[in-house]
Each structure stands twice: as C-alpha cells, then as structure tokens.
Amino acid sequence: MIGISEIDSAAERIAAHVVRTPTVPSPGLSALLGAPVTAKLELLQRTGSFKARGATAKLLSLSEAERAAGVVAVSGGNHGIALAVMAAALEVKATVVMPRSAPARSLRIAEESGATLRLADGMDEAFATAARLRDEGLTLVHPFDDPVVIAGQGTVGLEFAQDAGPLTDVLVSVGGGGLIAGVASALRALRPGVRVWGVETEGAEALSRALAAGGPVPVALSSVVTTL
C-alpha cells in the first residue's frame, strides 16, 4: 500500500522536473451538474498527461548502474511519450515498446525524443518484448503496476488536496489503475471524508468487470480509443 509519506517523497523528488498543474473551477461542468465542480488540469503537464509524474519518479529512483543500462516501457501512447521525454531530460537511455495501432503522433514524439522505438502486434506482444529486454538488463518502467510510479501519480491527489476548496467527491479516470491508486491514497490521508470514484471508458471497463467477478477478467476493447 502506498502511503502519504511515499507520495510526499515523490513530490519532493519530481518537483523540479514536472509542472504543478492548475486546479480551477469549471463553470460549464458546474452548470451541467448543478453543483460546484473543480478540475485538475493535467493536460497542461509536461508531455500532456499525468504520466510524466510517475515516469519521472521512477527514473529518479534508479541506481547509477540502472541508469547506465537504460530503461524500457510498454505503452499505447502517453506513458511511452512521458518516459521518452523525461528520460532524455535526465540523460537515461530509453526503449519504448508500442503496438502498431498506437497513434502516429505518439510514435513520432517517442522517437523524436531520442528513445529507441520497438513496435509490436498488440499489447500482449509488447509486454513480452519488454520482459525480454528487462531480462537483458534494462529496468522496466511499468505504466501502473509499480509502487514508485503509483507514488508519482499520487502527487496529482496531493496537489489537488492542497489546492482545491471544499470537496465531497473526486472522480478519477481509470485505465491500469495507477492514477486512482495514488490519488486515493493521498486523499485518504489529507481529505479523509472525501469519496473517490473511478470513471472508466465505455468499452474498456476492466476494473468494474473485475470487481463484479471478484478478480481480473479479460476485456475485449470496443472503445473508439485504441490505446487503453
């Protein structure tokens, strides 16, 4: 379990490398829902998403030997972009494995940032490729299943708890689960009365199906979003 001390530590480490994104009221959503809504604008983060936080936290945790050997990531888009850009900034050699179906923009940014780009026929093959590279000595920077990455993503919740006004409920997008795990941990420590809700993309509802089944179940992606 990730605690507030790990999130605080991650926040201190990554502060010089990422943006403390704005926390602002949303008049449009407030009018639509009939209640005050506050938004955390992670689209203004470096690389365009919260993924830069977890990737940076992991990169800064590496030993000198791990830095020298390099890192590898699997991604359908944002995580790969984040790792490529932040690894270049921190002078760590990175390999990013993406499915061929990934957006051309994501492939281009990862490659232009200096990462070695490897393409795979789907995410299963991408993870298998990354596992082989890990066995060859690279450090795997997992997109969500890593406590250091989760602590980095949890800094979103830390900042939100510090910057937002009164809160009753917080909605967090769910894909792999790293963001909501970190945000929920931060809010439980700093805003213990707040309810945290996970929001999934229709056609990619892996978490809700797993909760209903009592464990992970395969989910066939049917969303128009191809990188979930």
CA distances from 217 to 200, 209, 213 (A): 15, 7, 7
What tokens were used for 95? 């390999």
User: Minimum mean pLDDT among 106-110, 150-154, 181-185, 224-228: which range?
Assistant: 224-228
pLDDT digits (tens, 9 = 90+) for 118-142: 999 999 999 999 999 999 999 999 9
- Rounded to the nearest 5°, which phi and psi values hold at 4? -65, -30
Given a cut of 90, whether residue 223 has pLDDT beyond it is no
The mean predicted confidence, pLDDT, of the chain is 94
What domains appear along the chain, each with residue ranges and CATH number?
4-50+146-211 (3.40.50.1100), 52-140 (3.40.50.1100)
**What does the alpha-carbon distance between residue 95 and residue 134 come to, in Å, rounded to a whole number?**
11
- Rounded to the nearest 5°, which phi and psi values hold at 24? -135, 155
User: How many C-beta neighbours within 10 Å does residue 41 have?
Assistant: 12
Given a cut of 70, whether residue 34 has pLDDT beyond it is yes
CA distances from 130 to 72, 92, 191, 218 (A): 6, 17, 38, 21
Query: Would you say the C-alpha torsion 157, 159, 160, 162 has a positive or negative sign?
Result: positive
